[in-house]
């Protein structure tokens, strides 16, 4: 990005800011990246971060929108959903997110700005789509929240204890246990 002349194009500038933020957050994490660093990397005026995204947290939230969600797990029949969710959770027990942005998010979970983004992301990318998939209503919302609790609990345990190298039997055993928890 550096060293190129950039015409005045709102969308192009917004994209450069997003690209710079994504790269910097992935490399340094949320806390160590400043708005000044992002603007410099994007070769944009620092005030444009506030204009386009409101704040550093707003920019980070926008970067998160492009990150993977559990939507792929929802593909398939409803009867197989508990097993797919359980397998996802079992695999997460042994490895962190593949996305550098999601890893940065995980490491920054104690930051108050990030905590609010996490809450919103959990609600909009996990709980609400899952509840909708399950048919909506209070029972579906309760089941979606329980599944989210299992998934986020696995993430917290892995973060606290570190990942362990699993055997296929470990993943199968955890998947079987988690499936029982998710079936109703």
Mean pLDDT of 40-48: 96
8 A C-beta contact, residue 140 and residue 134: yes
Which two tokens mark 58?
Answer: 């707003």
Q: What is the mean pLDDT of residues 98-102?
A: 76
Contacts of 45 (CB under 8 A, 6+ apart): 39
Cβ atoms of 42 and 97 closer than 8 Å: no
Question: In a 10 Å sphere around its CB, with 0-12 CB exposed, 13-18 middle and 19+ buried, how is residue 83 labelled?
Answer: middle
Spell out the domain ranges in the chain: 10-65, 71-182
177 within 8 A of 115, measured Cβ to Cβ: no
Which pTM value belongs to this model?
A: 0.71
Q: What is the mean pLDDT of the chain?
A: 85
Residues 128 and 70: beta-carbon distance below 8 Å = no
Cα 65 vs. chain centroid, distance in angstroms? 8
**pLDDT tens digits, residue range 127-176?**
999 898 888 888 899 989 998 888 888 877 877 777 777 778 888 888 89
Other CB atoms closer than 10 Å to residue 44's CB: what's the count?
A: 20
Sign of CA dihedral 161, 166, 171, 172: negative
CATH topology of domain 10-65: Arc Repressor Mutant, subunit A (1.10.10)
Contact 19, 42 (CB under 8 A): yes
Pairwise CA distance, residues 133 & 147, whole Å: 13
Please compute the mean of the pLDDT values over residues 42-53 and round it to a whole number. 96
């Amino acid at each position: 990005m550096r060293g190129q002349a950039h015409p005045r194009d709102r969308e192009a500038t917004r994209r450069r800011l997003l690209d710079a933020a994504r790269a910097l957050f992935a490399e340094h994490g949320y806390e160590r990246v400043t708005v000044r660093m992002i603007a410099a990397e994007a070769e944009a005026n620092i005030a444009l971060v506030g204009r386009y995204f409101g704040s550093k947290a707003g920019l980070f939230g926008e970067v998160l929108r492009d990150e993977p969600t559990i939507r792929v797990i929802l593909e398939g029949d409803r009867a197989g959903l508990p097993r797919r969710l359980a397998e996802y959770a079992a695999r997460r027990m042994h490895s962190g997110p593949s996305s550098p942005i999601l890893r940065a998010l995980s490491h920054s979970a104690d930051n108050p700005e990030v905590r609010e983004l996490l809450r919103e992301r959990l609600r909009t990318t996990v709980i609400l789509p899952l509840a909708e998939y399950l048919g909506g209503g209070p029972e579906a919302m309760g089941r979606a929240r329980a599944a989210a609790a299992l998934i986020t609990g696995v993430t917290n345990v892995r973060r606290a204890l570190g990942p362990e190298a699993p055997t296929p039997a470990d993943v199968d055993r955890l998947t079987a246990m988690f499936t029982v928890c998710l079936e109703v």
